[in-house]
Amino acid sequence: MDKIDIEKIRNDFPILKKKINDEKLIYLDNAATVQMPKEVLTACDTFYHDAYSNVHRSSHTLAIKATQIYETVRKKVQKFINAADTSEIIFTSGCTASLNLVALSWGESFISAGDEIVITAMEHHSNLIPWQQLALRKKAKLKFIELTPDGRLDMNDAAQKITSKTKLVAAVHVSNVLGVINPIKKLASLAHKVGAIMVVDGAQAVGHIPIDVQQLEADFYAFSGHKMLAPTGVGVLYGRKYLLEKMTPVMYGGEMIEHVSRFTSSWAEIPFKFEAGTPNIAGVRGLGAAIDYLNKISFQTITEYEQELTDCALNALKKITALTIYGPLTSKERLPIFSFNLDKIHAHDLATILDAEGVEVRAGHHCAEPLMTDLGVIATVRASFYIYNTEKDIDILVEAIEKAKDFFNHGN
């Protein structure tokens, strides 16, 4: 395996050279959005300079070039997640849009009163509210798989909750709060045994671990570009062909039709029937460049390095007295996303002090309010790492937390 060349990687990310509040930028908000390498910035810029046009409409040279670029990325995404066919790749505006599409289309058609939808207690609102609202509309029952005390999915509970009434199981692949990697294949097999479908929120997994939707046995897999080195406003919904073919569109307009008359319309083939309107073409180009960049480094290198960062950060954070860490305290089946609170100090106050030191973290409920309630808190601070972060960043984070601790103690 190639050892990661961290200096070379850091040089690829121009923003990392910036100063924040006169301090070196330590960017630890990667679970919100990761930074983009020069390759991705250049790819988007070049598209705007050399090929900017609409797709699947006009027949002039520039439009053909734009369409080729767009469809080349669809093929790249198919390979990247090992989908069986390019028609299974739908470009969306992001993970939220992808999950809502499944709920509004598959859910509206195939969930009925009395059916059960099973999700987990660690879902981001994007993979909770679409199912909650679907259940309310359809008079279906929403059930939650609970967590073990160390913040992992309780698979015994999963086996109890998934029953012959279950029609859909939806789970996050990697928790944006706890960092835990969920056993999706095992969940999918429980779901399939009872004839339910498996929907996966891959927002925090893609770009960190290799994704093989066929091996995972996912029926739908949703993710966002901006959490895997691509720009905001572009994402993907993978869906099995036979399911997508049975589904009706939820957005209507240009691009998604076969024929339209005054009073009736028919739909284009998949994936186009789900891509109404002009898509984020430059964003899609950026997504393609992001995939190339990740493949160049290789997932073996990325996962090994993230494992090292996880071990190192857990060791360092565990030594801070009065710090409560939420989620598993070992690096097994876990990514470097750490949520914590410092005794009696509000998460936002701690994040403000860290920001003054140039350490950019997020404080809040992380769009997972029900999980916060289960943890008995209203907010946490979250430090999340990516391939350009270093062990030095961990040292600086720890120093900044210790500084905050002193500051608040002095204030008492």
Segments in 217-298 forming alpha helices (H) = 241-246, 281-297
C-alpha Rg value of the chain to the nearest Å? 22
Copy the structure tokens of residue 50: 């050399």
For position 224 contacting ligand PLP by CB under 6 A, the verdict is yes
Q: How far is the CB of 178 from ligand PLP (least distance, A)?
A: 11
Could you say whether residue 182 binds ligand PLP (CB under 6 A)? no
Q: Would you state the structure tokens that stand for residue 364, as one six-digit string?
A: 């809040």
Stretch touching ligand PLP by CB under 6 A, among 22-30, 120-128, 206-214, 347-355: 120-128
For residue 124, state whether it binds ligand PLP (rule: CB under 6 A): yes
First vs last Cα of the chain: how many Å apart?
51
- Does residue 44 carry a catalytic annotation? no
Return d(Cα 396, Cα 191) in angstroms, integer. Answer: 44
Name the residue nearer to ligand PLP (CB basis): 67 or 96.
96
CB count, 10 Å around CB of 282? 22
How many residues at the interface with ligand PLP, by CB under 6 A?
Answer: 14
CA distances to 328, 338, 361, 400 from 316, rounded to whole Å, are: 14, 12, 17, 12
Return the structure tokens found at 355.
């920001």
Q: Could you say whether residue 396 binds ligand PLP (CB under 6 A)?
A: no
Q: Which is nearer to ligand PLP, 95 or 282 (CB)?
A: 95
Residues 148-177, interacting with ligand PLP (CB under 6 A):
172, 176
Here's the x/- map for ligand PLP, 13-52, by CB under 6 A: it reads as: ------------------x---------------------
Contact assessment for residue 167 and residue 141, using Cβ atoms and an 8 Å cutoff: no
Give the residue with the Cβ less far from ligand PLP, 203 or 276. 203
> Considering the complex, what minimum distance in angstroms separates the CB of residue 34 from ligand PLP?
11
Cβ closest to ligand PLP, residue 31 vs residue 102:
31
C-alpha angle 84-88-89 in degrees, rounded to nearest 5: 115
Candidate segments 93-101, 255-263, 338-346, 397-405, binder of ligand PLP by CB under 6 A: 93-101
Rounded CA separation 125/395 (Å): 32
Q: Could you tell me the smallest distance in angstroms from the CB atom of residue 65 to ligand PLP?
A: 28
**Per CB under 6 A, does 208 bind ligand PLP?**
no
Phi, psi of 271 (to 5 degrees): -85, -5
Tokens of 366: 């992380």
Looking at 247-365, list the stretches that DSSP marks H as alpha helix, in order from N- to C-terminal side. 281-297, 299-318, 347-356
In the numeric block, which tokens belong to residue 116? 């059960």
Binding region for ligand PLP (CB under 6 A) out of 64-72, 92-100, 244-252, 403-411: 92-100
Residue from 55, 203, 216, 342 touching ligand PLP (CB under 6 A): that is 203
The secondary structure of residue 139, as a DSSP letter, is T
Do the beta carbons of residue 301 and residue 309 sit within 8 Å? no
Closest distance of CB 347 from ligand PLP, Å: 17
The answer to the question of residue 204 lying near ligand PLP (CB under 6 A) is yes
Q: Is 126 in the site for ligand PLP (CB under 6 A)?
A: yes
Among 36, 88, 94, 297, binds ligand PLP (CB under 6 A): 94
**Which spans of this chain sit near ligand PLP (rule: CB under 6 A)?**
31, 94-96, 124, 126-127, 172, 176, 201, 203-204, 224, 226
Catalytic residues: 367
